[in-house]
Each structure stands twice: as structure tokens, then as C-alpha cells.
């Protein structure tokens, strides 16, 4: 078996987060040609990188601790259409805002979108609509506080985090 490897940049393939991943592909009796993987987004393609707005901008706005189970608007980007494929009856799942203390709400509220929320933790930003997300991680202590929503004064819902990682809504 021949094994090939290559580091790929997720935004080049339509994922709205700055994330590089090392891929290993093994094929019996031949080497895999990574040049056969066609970059779909970004420089030297016909499509721009997918922004936060294109990824989650169709999801309903939420207040602290609020949950919504229905889409309230139609998708307005091809990425949103892709994420909504195979959903039924306008049902939305896992779209619940974290329940923050007032101090966290105030911190997010006073942070300019695209800027760090904490002086010592530069990677914890309030997202902006027109950027790529920093790498989304799963698990950990209070993972929903890692990034602030671009326009609501809260952290991200599980659905928003899944969308940014390119997991479909179903």
C-alpha cells in the first residue's frame, strides 16, 4: 500500500474557518495524487472564501439562553443551502444560546466584531460577519464562550459552531 500525505487549508474547500489539516491517504498498489483534489474557493478560483455571514447569517437571532427550533428566513447563500439539505418541515435543531452571566454579556457587547474579547486571550474574538472564523474546537470547559456572535451579545449556539465546522443541519 502506498501512503501519501498533504496539509490542506479548509477555506480552500468551502469551510468557513481558518484551519489546516494533515491528510493521509493510502491506496493499494498506487500513490494518491493530491494534485487531483481541486481547490474550490479563494485566490485563483471563481469563488471567494465562505464568510461567517454566508455560513450562519440565515439562523435566527437569539437572546441569552433562548432557543429557536424553526428557521425564520430562507437561505441566502449556497453554503446555507448545502447545510440545510435533508432537513425537514423547517425544523432547526441545537440552536440554543448559552446562558451567560451579565459580565460575559457585557464583555461581548463592548467588543468590536473581529477583535479579541480578552486582552490575555487574543484567539477569543467576537466574530465579524465578513471574515473566516478562527478554528472551532469541540469539547473543553465552556467551549461556547470561545467566540462571540457577530451581532448578538452571546457566544455561539451548537448549530452555529457545527455550521462553521461544515457539519450539515441534519
**Percentage of the residues of the chain whose pLDDT score is greater than 90:** 82
Q: Does the pLDDT value for residue 2 go beyond 70?
A: yes
Q: Is-contact 146 155, C-beta < 8 A?
A: yes
Q: What average pLDDT does the segment 154-158 reach? A: 93
Per-residue pLDDT at 122: 86
Residue (of 65, 60, 152, 62) closest to 113 by Cα position: 152
Q: What average pLDDT does the segment 80-85 reach? A: 97
Q: Does the pLDDT value for residue 4 go beyond 80?
A: yes
Per-residue pLDDT at 121: 86
Q: Does the pLDDT value for residue 141 go beyond 80?
A: no
107-134 pLDDT, tens per residue? 999 999 999 999 998 888 999 999 999 9
Give Cα 97 to chain centroid, integer Å: 15
Per-residue pLDDT at 66: 97
Q: Does the pLDDT value for residue 38 go beyond 90?
A: yes
The band of 137, judged by pLDDT with boundaries at 50, 70 and 90, is confident
Q: Is-contact 12 5, C-beta < 8 A?
A: no
DSSP alpha helix (H) spans, the chain: 52-56, 78-84, 102-109, 158-164
Q: Does the pLDDT value for residue 145 go beyond 80?
A: no
Q: What average pLDDT does the segment 37-59 reach? A: 97
83-105 pLDDT, tens per residue? 999 998 899 999 999 999 999 99
Amino acid at each position: 500500500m502506498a501512503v501519501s500525505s498533504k496539509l490542506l487549508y479548509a477555506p480552500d474547500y468551502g469551510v468557513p474557518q481558518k484551519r489546516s489539516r494533515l491528510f493521509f491517504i493510502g491506496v493499494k498498489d498506487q500513490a494518491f495524487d493530491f494534485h487531483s483534489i481541486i481547490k474550490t474557493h479563494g485566490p485563483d478560483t471563481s469563488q471567494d472564501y465562505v464568510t461567517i455571514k454566508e455560513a450562519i447569517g440565515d439562523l435566527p437571532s437569539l437572546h441569552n439562553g433562548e432557543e429557536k427550533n424553526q428557521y425564520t428566513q430562507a437561505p441566502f447563500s449556497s453554503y446555507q443551502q448545502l447545510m440545510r439539505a435533508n432537513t425537514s418541515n423547517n425544523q432547526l435543531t441545537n440552536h440554543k444560546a448559552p446562558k451567560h452571566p451579565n459580565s460575559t454579556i457585557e464583555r461581548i457587547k463592548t467588543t468590536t466584531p473581529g477583535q479579541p474579547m480578552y486582552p490575555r486571550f487574543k484567539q477569543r474574538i467576537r466574530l465579524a460577519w465578513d471574515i473566516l472564523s478562527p478554528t472551532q474546537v469541540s469539547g473543553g470547559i465552556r467551549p461556547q464562550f470561545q467566540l462571540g456572535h457577530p451581532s448578538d451579545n452571546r457566544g455561539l449556539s451548537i448549530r452555529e459552531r457545527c455550521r462553521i465546522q461544515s457539519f450539515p443541519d441534519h
